[in-house]
Amino acid sequence: MSCEFVFFSDLNVDFVPRKEIDNGKFVRNPEKPERLTGVLGYLNKKFQSGSVVEFSEEWILKVHTEKYFKYIVKKSQEVSGEYIPEVFFVDLIFDTGTPINNLTYIAAKRAVDVALSAAECSFTSGKVTYALTRPPGHHAMRSFGGGYCYFNNVAIAAKFFEEKGMKVAILDVDFHHGNGTQDIFYADPNVLYVSLHGDPKEFYPWYSGFEDEIGEGKGRGKNINIPLPRGTDGRIYFEALRKALEKIQEFSPDVFLLSLGTDTHVKDPVGKFSLKSEDYKIAGRLIADATSKVKYKVLVHEGGYNHYSNLSAVKNFLEGFLS
């Protein structure tokens, strides 16, 4: 297995969800493969790619229920064309934006392999690695998929390290709250989850991401949500990011995982923040400085729905983060 900076699988481009129901109408699903082609071109030109290894399905079952896992496998095998989940609790998908086709299981499992290969490479070499995962993962809960996510890639990468006795901090900077990652680690004292996102009073996933969700049981205090208003610009964002990074430093993790969504960019059609391309360089620098003592670091790709802003955000972020 070659251990380099970028991990990606062509299988993650072959998966094409076509439709979703938005405001009662069928629309083109924005989680399309083209959203990553610019990023992939840039990463391939600038960095070496590591080989993606196949991991056991057991890894998925460490963060998802068997019932949910089997649902995705079976539905994906049985469906002809594209199935749009319709009723919560009939389908184990909590929205109408997350269709299932014949490639869903294969692509989602491959995204897990990508995240785990990046985690293993970081663990064996101490290098920073980048898992260019698609479909994304942070909305996938223990028992339900949703938000274009089927299996929670970053949560499975966190388990990889947690099982080695390590403390893991996950910073989620996607525009949307990572309700799935929160759900999986809500009572877990070894995994700190910190998320900066659009206020759920106004934005998806609506039911979670509020400040008073702080974790439970032994995990109390290990879940930190920082909801931000529509139009958040660099000034507001960096203040919140500094606060998030202080919490991560207090936790003193062995591992730092970043759920890197770029739908915070002003040009993103889904997210509603106003971050400019150059802001990502500053964010990258701030995050690198605050995590300089952390032994293992893995970046895991999440949302971002504009070809131009995805590329520009990732490029600027890495220039700041790796400089």
CB of 303 to Zn ion, least distance (A): 3
Which three-class secondary structure state does DSSP give residue 250? helix
Residues recorded for the chain? 323
State the residue number with the nearest CB to Zn ion: 303
CB of 261 to Zn ion, least distance (A): 5
DSSP state letter for 218 = G
CB of 180 to Zn ion, least distance (A): 12
CB of 301 to Zn ion, least distance (A): 11
Q: Which is nearer to Zn ion, 38 or 50 (CB)?
A: 38
The residues in 100-139 that bind Zn ion, with binding defined as CB under 5 A, are: none
By CB under 5 A, the count of residues binding Zn ion is 6
Residues recognised as catalytic: 139
Among 8, 55, 175, 305, binds Zn ion (CB under 5 A): 175
281 touches 316 (CB < 8 A) = yes
Among 99, 135, 146, 303, binds Zn ion (CB under 5 A): 303
Query: What region does 81 belong to: left with phi over 0, alpha with psi -120 to 50, or beta?
Result: left
Q: Which is nearer to Zn ion, 117 or 259 (CB)?
A: 259
Q: Rounded to an integer, what is the distance from CA 26 to the centroid of its chain?
A: 25
Q: Which is nearer to Zn ion, 162 or 172 (CB)?
A: 172
Relative orientation angle of helices 66-78 and 104-125, to the nearest 10 degrees: 130
Q: Which is nearer to Zn ion, 50 or 147 (CB)?
A: 147
User: Which pair of tokens denotes residue 253?
Assistant: 């993790």
User: Which runs of consecutive H residues, i.e. helices, occur in the chain?
Assistant: 11-14, 34-46, 58-61, 66-78, 104-125, 153-162, 179-185, 234-251, 277-290, 307-321
The residues in 11-40 that bind Zn ion, with binding defined as CB under 5 A, are: none
Q: Which is nearer to Zn ion, 199 or 263 (CB)?
A: 263
CB of 270 to Zn ion, least distance (A): 7
DSSP string, 88-117: BTTBSBSSSS--B-TTHHHHHHHHHHHHHH
176 binds Zn ion (CB under 5 A): yes
Among 174, 183, 199, 268, binds Zn ion (CB under 5 A): 174
Please give the Cα distance from 242 to 191 (Å, whole number): 19
Q: Which is nearer to Zn ion, 176 or 222 (CB)?
A: 176
Binding mask 250-289 for Zn ion (x = CB under 5 A): -----------x-x--------------------------
Instruction: Give the largest CA-CA distance in the chain.
Output: 50
Please give the Cα distance from 28 to 264 (Å, whole number): 21
Which span (48-56, 97-105, 299-307, 315-323) binds Zn ion, by CB under 5 A? 299-307
Contact set with Zn ion (CB under 5 A): 174-176, 261, 263, 303
